[in-house]
Amino acid sequence: MRRALYSTAAVILTGSLFVAAPADAGNRHQSKAKPVNTSKLTKAVTVNNQLKTLRQLQVIANRNDGNRASGLPGYDASADYVASQLKKAGYKVKRQTFTFAFSRDLAPAELQQVTPTARDIETAAFDYSGSGDVTGTITPIGLVIPPGEAGSTASGCEVADFPPAGAQPSVALMQRGFCNFGVKAANAEAAGYDAAIIFNEGQDGRQELLTGTLGEPVGIPVVGTSYADGVALAEQDGATVRVFASTEVDLNRETSNVIADLPGKTKNSDQVVVVGAHLDSVAEGPGINDNGSGTAAVLEIAKQYTKTKLAKKAQRPVRFAFWGAEEKGLLGAEHYVANLTDAQRAKIYANLNFDMIGSPNFARFVYDGDGSDGDAGPAGSAEIEKVFTDYFAGRRLATAPTAFDGRSDYGPFIAAGIPAGGLFSGAEGIKTPEEATLFGGTAGVAYDVCYHQACDDITNINTRALDQLGDAAAHSVGVLALSKQGLYGDQRRAKASAKKLAAAAARGNGHALTH
On whether the CB atoms of residues 319 and 96 are closer than 8 A, the answer is: no
On whether the CB atoms of residues 367 and 353 are closer than 8 A, the answer is: yes
Burial class (CB in 10 A: 0-12, 13-18, 19+), 515: exposed
Q: What is the pLDDT of residue 32?
A: 54
Contact residues for 157 (Cβ-Cβ < 8 A; gap 6+): 142, 177, 178, 179, 183, 184, 187
Q: What is the pLDDT of residue 1?
A: 77
Q: What is the pLDDT of residue 166?
A: 85
Contact residues for 64 (Cβ-Cβ < 8 A; gap 6+): 72, 73, 74, 77
The rounded distance, in Å, linking the Cα atoms of 326 and 282 is 9
Q: What is the DSSP letter of 157?
A: S
Strand-pair category, 222-225 with 272-278? unpaired
Q: Is pLDDT at 498 greater than 60 in this prediction?
A: no
Angle in degrees, 0-180, between the axes of helices 463-482 and 294-307, rounded to the nearest 10: 50
Q: Is pLDDT at 10 greater than 50 in this prediction?
A: no
506 versus 515: the higher-pLDDT residue is: 506
Q: Is pLDDT at 2 greater than 80 in this prediction?
A: no
The rounded distance, in Å, linking the Cα atoms of 248 and 129 is 9
What number of other Cβ atoms are within 10 A of residue 163's Cβ? 12
User: How far, in whole angstroms, is CA 432 from its chain's centroid?
Assistant: 21
DSSP for 468-502 reads HHHHHHHHHHHHHHH-SSTTT--HHHHHHHHHHHH
Helix intervals (H) in 1-151: 39-44, 47-62, 73-88
Residue 494 banded pLDDT, cuts 50, 70, 90: very low
What percent helix, strand, coil does the chain show, rounded to 5? 35, 20, 45
Q: What is the pLDDT of residue 5?
A: 36
Q: What is the pLDDT of residue 352?
A: 98
On whether the CB atoms of residues 332 and 255 are closer than 8 A, the answer is: yes
* Structural element, H or E, at residue 183: helix 181-190
Q: What is the pLDDT of residue 117?
A: 94
Residues involved in catalysis: 326
Q: What is the pLDDT of residue 349?
A: 98
The pLDDT tens digits for 149-192 are 999 999 999 999 999 998 999 999 999 999 999 999 999 999 99
Going by C-alpha positions, the residue among 79, 210, 95, 217 that lies closest to residue 155 is 210
